[in-house]
Structure 1
Amino acid sequence: MHASLLLVSALSAASVWAAPTFPKVSLDTSKSVDIISQYFNLLASKVQQSKAVGAAPICDLSKVSLPAEAAGLPPPSPGFYLKHVAIGRGTQNYTCDLSNSTAIPVASGAVATLFNASCISATYPDLLQMTTHVALQFDLSESETINRLAPTNLAISGHHFFTNPTTPFFNMDASPQWQLGEIPTAKDASIPAPKNALKGQKGEPAVAWLKLSAKPGATGGLQEVYRLETVGGSPPATCQGQPASFEIQYSTQYWFYAS
């Protein structure tokens, strides 16, 4: 197999290379076009690099470290290792008190599909960041329909939702290829997203970066989860003009540590 195809296979973390898909762009703005162009230009440069080397890089997470901007969060606990990195694409969910237009929207959980990005994080962290950015520029339904993260070929590795108002849950047994375990979590720490974090589809600021720790019932050795490199997801400042419940689309990276 040619090096460029090896690279694509490695980045998609799939054993079979699927034909490219052509999802619909969710935004018709110059900013969206710029982000998409940057992504494909960067991807093309990685393919050219792989041709020059003659082989795809090895997907080894042992040397991958949290981004420098995450220094405000507690580090992974001693003895834990990075098991998986995923791009999360979904919605942050909120409720509003319709009797008070000045009320602040209340977070009511989140729902996201997780896509296997371990190989990208191990080989091209700059491409990983761009993948997180570009994922928000495409219709959410496209990724759900084709079971691949639009516009990439990353396959589903898990699902994220809340089992109650204080328990973010990650089902990482969603794919027969990766039986990674399940982990109910509680928030351990949070820091604001960096000031230069990319805004959402309608200019929403990025939600906070988090460290989550396992609650009882985790499997697969999963112990800690980081939410990093968030894009969008924050609610408006008040409930004025909002319905009783609403969703704000977001993308992010989830880093899973195991013992």
Structure 2
Amino acid sequence: MLSELWVVSALCAVALSAPTFSMSAVERPVEMKVLSDYFQMLSAKVQEGKKMAQAPVCDLSRAVLPVTSSSTLPAPEPGNTVKHVAIGRGTQNYTCDTTNATAIPVAAGAVATLFNASCVASTYPDLLSLLPSLALEFNLTSPDQETLTLSDLAVSGHHFFSNATTPLFDLNTQARQLGLVPCKGGNSTAAPKDAVVGQNNKGFGAVAWLRLPTRDGAGNVQEVFRVNTAGGKPPAACVGMPATFEVQYAAEYWFFQSS
């Protein structure tokens, strides 16, 4: 009985609360499949945990950055170790030149809330990989949301652009002070073909996976990876689009520090 209690307790932290949950929100087939896959895996983890002699340990040295067979991203620099893993849920932002009939959308930064997924990454990586697609299927509530919907992953920071060329990750919260992480442009690779393209499978694709080197002021964080993206890509052309618009997305963010 005690073993069941700690297993359920450990998995409650990933049993997803940022976007709002209601039955009407999950009546569409794609959302139902995403939820079904998630809860089936969650149930399997609980059953596996009942057979464990001791609770899983939150050890980030065991967390492994996801890769795909088609990825061209460089590996983390030798000697760098995982400092933090987060699920980002927010919007990719774009502008359009509405006076130009052949214009294409131009990226104008992103805004996202980050949710602490470090322990999930170290103990249940297959469950972690489902969280971006699951989070995307729930609507955003407010920037002040405290947990990610349907899981109780706590807020670990916020992502935004401090200027046109500097993606910034603010990892300071009341619970933990992990610092500010300014980054610069780096490497990118297309998301896998089977990535979630948008809410309820209505979208233009998943944004690229990225490796972002850090700028001065990032402390000991050396590089940030954006992987397992869901949604976020704009339409191919600006026809019918406003001058500015947002596209909802979710992703895993991995922060690597120097030893």
**Fold conserved (TM > 0.5)?**
yes
8 A Cα contact 1:225 1:254, kept in partner: yes
| Structure 1 residues 86 and 4: CA distance shift in structure 2, 3 A | farther
8 A Cα contact 1:182 1:222, kept in partner: no
Aligned to 1:45: 44
2:131 is matched by which residue type in structure 1? Answer: T
Alignment partner of 1:106 is 2:117? no
1:73 Cα shift?
0.9
1:206-255 superposed Cα distances (whole Å, 9 cap, x missing partner): 00000001111113x21110000000000001111111100000000000
1:199 Cα shift?
1.2
Q: How far, CA to CA, are the matches of 2:64 and 2:128 in structure 1? A: 13
8 A Cα contact 1:169 1:183, kept in partner: yes
1:257 Cα shift?
0.4
Aligned to 1:244: 243
Q: Out of 182, 190, 193, which is 2:191 matched to?
A: 193
1:2 Cα shift?
3.7
Q: How far, CA to CA, are the matches of 2:33 and 2:237 in structure 1? A: 31
8 A Cα contact 1:12 1:117, kept in partner: no
Aligned to 2:162: 163
8 A Cα contact 2:20 2:141, kept in partner: no
| Structure 1 residues 146 and 200: CA distance shift in structure 2, 3 A | same
Aligned to 1:233: 232
TM-score between the two structures when normalised by the length of structure 1: 0.90
2:149 is matched by which residue type in structure 1? Answer: A
8 A Cα contact 2:16 2:153, kept in partner: no
1:23 Cα shift?
1.8
| Structure 1 residues 100 and 7: CA distance shift in structure 2, 3 A | farther
8 A Cα contact 1:87 1:253, kept in partner: yes
Aligned to 2:179: 181
1:8 Cα shift?
4.9
Aligned to 2:93: 93
| Structure 1 residues 120 and 179: CA distance shift in structure 2, 3 A | same
| Greater Cα shift, 105-114 or 119-128 | 119-128
Aligned to 2:120: 120
Stretches of structure 1 that go unaligned for 5 or more consecutive residues are none
| Structure 1 residues 48 and 249: CA distance shift in structure 2, 3 A | same
8 A Cα contact 1:200 1:231, kept in partner: yes
| Structure 1 residues 247 and 206: CA distance shift in structure 2, 3 A | same
Q: How far, CA to CA, are the matches of 2:38 and 2:253 in structure 1? A: 20
Aligned to 1:215: 215
Q: How far, CA to CA, are the matches of 2:180 and 2:4 in structure 1? A: 34
**Percent of counterpart pairs with the same letter?**
51
Runs of 4+ in structure 1 deviating by more than 6 angstroms, as ranges, are none
1:124 Cα shift?
1.1
TM-score between the two structures when normalised by the length of structure 2: 0.90
| Structure 1 residues 165 and 118: CA distance shift in structure 2, 3 A | same
| Structure 1 residues 224 and 13: CA distance shift in structure 2, 3 A | farther
Q: How far, CA to CA, are the matches of 1:170 and 1:83 in structure 2? A: 13
Aligned to 2:135: 135
Stretches of structure 2 that go unaligned for 5 or more consecutive residues are none
1:6 Cα shift?
2.9
1:148 is matched by which residue type in structure 2? Answer: T
| Structure 1 residues 96 and 218: CA distance shift in structure 2, 3 A | same
2:216 is matched by which residue type in structure 1? Answer: P
| Structure 1 residues 5 and 135: CA distance shift in structure 2, 3 A | farther
Paired residues in the alignment total 253
Q: How far, CA to CA, are the matches of 1:254 and 1:11 in structure 2? A: 20
1:203 Cα shift?
2.4
Q: How far, CA to CA, are the matches of 1:2 and 1:95 in structure 2? A: 55
2:99 is matched by which residue type in structure 1? Answer: S
